[in-house]
Structure 1
Amino acid sequence: MIARIDWHGRELAVDLARGRSIAIGLDPHGPQPAFFTESPATAAPMRAGGFVGSVAEGGSCNAEVVNFIPHCHGTHTECVGHITALAEHVQDTIYAGPALARVVSLAPADDADGSVNAGGPVYTDAGLAAALEAAGDVPFDALVIRARPADEALKSRDYGEHTYPVLEPAAIRRLAALPLKHLLIDTPSLDTAHDGGKLANHRTWWGLGNAPVHPDTDAGRRSITEMIFAPDDLADGWYWLQLELSPVLGDATASRPMLYPVDGLA
């Protein structure tokens, strides 16, 4: 099925039959990613009186109690409520509806002096600038950042034992100044895990720092989607993004970003 969309005077052809999820499926019974927690996501049969939610244990049906932390286990989307006292719900706060997205690959570089990521890898402003330049003059609302080659280990990585790339301050300032609504990234957080509570990159993106934001964008309605996985056979370029959110209300919620191929943009 092809949807034809007028996008700022350009006719886009979106192939709705070829959508790709860039979410990491969360298996509470198997290998899974974990960030900022020592407790895995778990699931166990519900028990109420004489009922057990397990056919294998003699119950009439399966019904599990699932315990997980959206911020810590798998792909999730968060809003500014992550860092405000109001703790707004992502479902009520972020820009709604589909968006034109640009997928870019960045090469992690060494944080030579340890000023950004304590010696861990960084996504540099220079690398980001080059990737954005390749997009030309096409306006877009969402940016998907990933490293290549894609590491399958990300689907079950314990980030308590591994570092991950962090955007340089100049890079996140560059993004904040663009008319972007959604940022999706293949790391568990925009900031380092232990930064003394600064969450500087989050604050810059949501317009709570000193960096300027684009005047046509309400930074407080922007979303961040972390812990995505974009496989190598998903080429860099243009896609139509449908950001599917769990209906479980919170400042963050499990999500499934869907990317659909787009034609009509050279």
Structure 2
Amino acid sequence: MKATITYGERTYKADLSEPIDISIPLRGGNGNVTAWYLPPPVISPVREGDFTGSVAEGGAVNFNTVAFNPHAHGTHTECMGHITAEFYSVNAALKQFFAMAELITVAPGKLGGDFVISEKQLRNALREKPPEAVVIRTLPNDDEKLSRQYSHTNPPYLTEAAAVCLREAGVKHLLIDLPSVDKEKDGGKL
């Protein structure tokens, strides 16, 4: 299936039968990504009376309960509700659901005892006028990223200047392959 998309004054063609999956999938057990000191997600069959939601255990269908934390266990989307007293839904916060995105690749650089994504790295990687959405892929980008245990590792994060750079460039949606854009332990400075 092929699509032609007009965005601004440019036309793009996409082969929708060959998508590129950049998500980190959710799996139950120790092979899943974890962060923020949480145990791995749990995926277990529903059991109610004589019903078992597991074909492997003799049930007619697989019917699972999934317990996970989006911040700790894989690809997730955030909005202002992450830092406000009130609950906000990403779905309610979005005004449009499709956006042109630019994928950039950066190798976090050493700053003191940390690895960070800096304003300079973003300015070097981004086009002069980036689209509303930016996807940051960090290096190394290997299969280990799909099961990395981030807790207590001080994963790379964005410097404050890098975050300001994105905001000033008009970026409204930021996707990143790290547990957070913030430092793991920042003493509450978020």
**TM-score for the superposition, normalised by structure 2:** 0.90
1:85-164 matches, within 5 Å, as: 85-112=85-112, 119-132=113-126, 135-137=127-129, 140-164=131-155
Percent identity between matched residues is: 41
CA contact (8 A) 2:118 2:159 kept: yes
> For 1:73-123, what per-residue CA distance to the aligned partner results, in whole angstroms no more than 9, with x for missing partners?
1111111111112211111112432211111111211112xxxxxx12011
Q: Which residue identity is paired with 1:178? A: A
Q: Which residue identity is paired with 1:42? A: V
**Which of these residues, 151, 167, 170, is aligned with residue 176 of structure 1?**
167
Residue 10 (structure 1) aligned with residue 10 (structure 2) = yes
Q: Which residue identity is paired with 2:184? A: A
CA contact (8 A) 1:143 1:180 kept: yes
CA contact (8 A) 1:95 1:181 kept: no
Q: CA deviation at 1:34?
A: 0.4
**TM-score for the superposition, normalised by structure 1:** 0.66
List alignment gaps of at least 5 residues for structure 1. Answer: 113-118, 200-266
Count the aligned residue pairs. 190
Q: CA deviation at 1:186?
A: 1.5
Q: What is the aligned-residue RMSD (CA, Å)?
A: 1.8
Q: Which residue identity is paired with 1:102? A: E
**Which of these residues, 177, 182, 187, is aligned with residue 186 of structure 1?**
177
CA contact (8 A) 2:154 2:184 kept: no
Mark the CA change 1:52 to 1:165 in structure 2 (over 3 Å): closer, same or farther.
same
> For 1:111-157, what per-residue CA distance to the aligned partner results, in whole angstroms no more than 9, with x for missing partners?
12xxxxxx12011211111112xx245x5111111123413211111
Mark the CA change 1:79 to 1:174 in structure 2 (over 3 Å): closer, same or farther.
same
CA contact (8 A) 2:38 2:72 kept: no
- Structure 2 distance, partners of 1:190, 1:148, is 15
